[in-house]
Homo-oligomer: A and B are copies of this chain.
Amino acid sequence: MSVPTPGAPAAHRTGRSTAVRGRRGGQAGSREHILDTARKLFAEHGFEGTSMRQVARAAGVDPAMVHHFFKGKDELFAHSVELPADPEQVLAGVADADPDRRAELIVRTVLRLWESPAQAALLAFLRGSIGSKAKTALLREMVERRVISRIMASVPGPPEEVALRGNLVATQVVGLMMVRYVVRLEPLASAAPDEVVQLVAHTVQRYLTGPLT
């Protein structure tokens, strides 16, 4: 599985107004130009609806050039999204944890990440992802493929139900991030991590494996 190294794809920190620039970004044939093109296509057509070949065509380069810079579509996508942290690394352990006792680990993992030096980059990433419609589409693809899939690994149930449960877990986790770290409502923004875990893990566990209605 290809992974972006933390801090490497940092364009979101310096190029806040770039949004999706398509052909105008970077020099023709450059890595940055290919990434700009890929961002545009992933945002419009999603991960499944975009191929390396289409990216090459839209960028006006030979497919071999795309493969020269990116091993496969996973790697191309990972770099397109410009994540400040690597979900595979951050969520290591979550997918292996017993689904019936996984909620606390999920919440602790989210808090640990946001209270690490990555916080500023995460904030910039989130502001950028929400601030533009095209980037929100990239965020959706990334969250579904690289975050929720791991959080919901081996949770029992029909696929549609597991997908709904994954969405519900996302509502609580995303809401916690927004209220505590972005909007910073008090007293939750200053509460100790242990207290936050106590307050919301119960909800996350219900969405993971508990009765839904």
A residues with a Cβ closer than 8 A to B are: 17, 126-128, 130-133, 136, 139-140, 143-144, 148, 160, 163-164, 166-168, 170-176, 178-180, 182-189, 191, 198-200, 202-203, 206, 212-213
Q: Which residues of B contact A139 (CB under 8 A)?
A: 183
Q: Which residues of B contact A133 (CB under 8 A)?
A: 127
Q: Is B184 touching A178 in the complex (CB atoms < 8 A)?
A: no
The verdict on A171 contacting B176 (CB below 8 Å), with A130-B130, A183-B136, A183-B140 known, is yes
Q: Which residues of B contact A164 (CB under 8 A)?
A: 187-188, 191, 199
**Chain A interface, DSSP helix/strand/loop, else mixed:** helix
**Which residue in chain B gives the minimum CB-CB distance to A188?**
B167
Distance A187 CA – B180 CA, assembled complex (angstroms): 26
The verdict on A183 contacting B143 (CB below 8 Å), with A127-B131, A171-B200 known, is yes
Given contacts A167-B179, A171-B175, 20 further A-B contacts (CB under 8 A): A127-B131, A127-B132, A130-B178, A131-B131, A131-B132, A143-B185, A148-B185, A160-B187, A164-B187, A164-B191, A167-B188, A168-B200, A170-B175, A170-B179, A170-B185, A171-B172, A171-B179, A173-B175, A175-B176, A199-B213
